[in-house]
Chains A and B, each alone.
Chain A
Amino acid sequence: DTGVSQNPRHKITKRGQNVTFRCDPISEHNRLYWYRQTLGQGPEFLTYFQNEAQLEKSRLLSDRFSAERPKGSFSTLEIQRTEQGDSAMYLCASSLLGVGETQYFGPGTRLLVL
């Protein structure tokens, strides 16, 4: 088990461009979460999937943000028309549905919008 992986680890883009990040969860985990973390703050929950179903998306920051998990395995987070305020660390976590479940985090993708 290699844990949660995220790609790319770093992304620099120009304002107005679209970016897509990928998360590969721990293989048997059926829940997958996306968070955003800005400097000096704790991670902020964005959205989550149970298998391929996106069960919570009201916390996505704007309609420029979208996420998919088409086959219930890996997930992608897309930001359209990036803005400088989108610069942050984007974290993915996965867990196995159950009582007191623990989330396991990936290393994150650091986005810089110029």
Chain B
Amino acid sequence: DAKTTQPNSMESNEEEPVHLPCNHSTISGTDYIHWYRQLPSQGPEYVIHGLTSNVNNRMASLAIAEDRKSSTLILHRATLRDAAVYYCILTDFSGGGADGLTFGKGTHLIIQP
């Protein structure tokens, strides 16, 4: 899987939008961009994924750059329960594939009340 680069940590205030960036300059044409998050003492949780177009779901939005070399996960109104480590992961066209998901260290999101 291609490598992604994320900031180690970010801090935001409760009820404000949060934009989590991810760089993936070596992304291939068939790589999906997945975001997972992991709350303390829990397994990772799927957030959203996309290929080329921006995506929205009940949890978040995913904005994908036109050249696909970067993406941004947007939490529209952060709550304290959004405090977690957020992972940006590239997968090949068939999803996890033979190598599973390759997690980096992710971005530790801190939400201030």
Please report A residues at the B interface, Cβ cutoff 8 Å.
4, 31, 33, 35, 40-46, 48, 55-56, 59, 91, 93, 95, 97-108
Contacts and interface: CB of A to CB of B under 8 A. Distances in A.
Contact of A105 (B34, B45, B93): B45
A100 B95 contact: yes
Contacts of B43: 4, 91, 93, 105-108
Interface stretch (B9-17, B59-67, B75-83, B103-111): B103-111
Interface of B: 32, 34, 42-46, 49, 51, 85, 87, 91, 93-96, 98-106
A100 B49 contact: yes
A45 B101 contact: yes
A38 B3 CA distance: 20
B interface secondary structure, majority: loop
Contact of B42 (A55, A95, A97, A107): A107
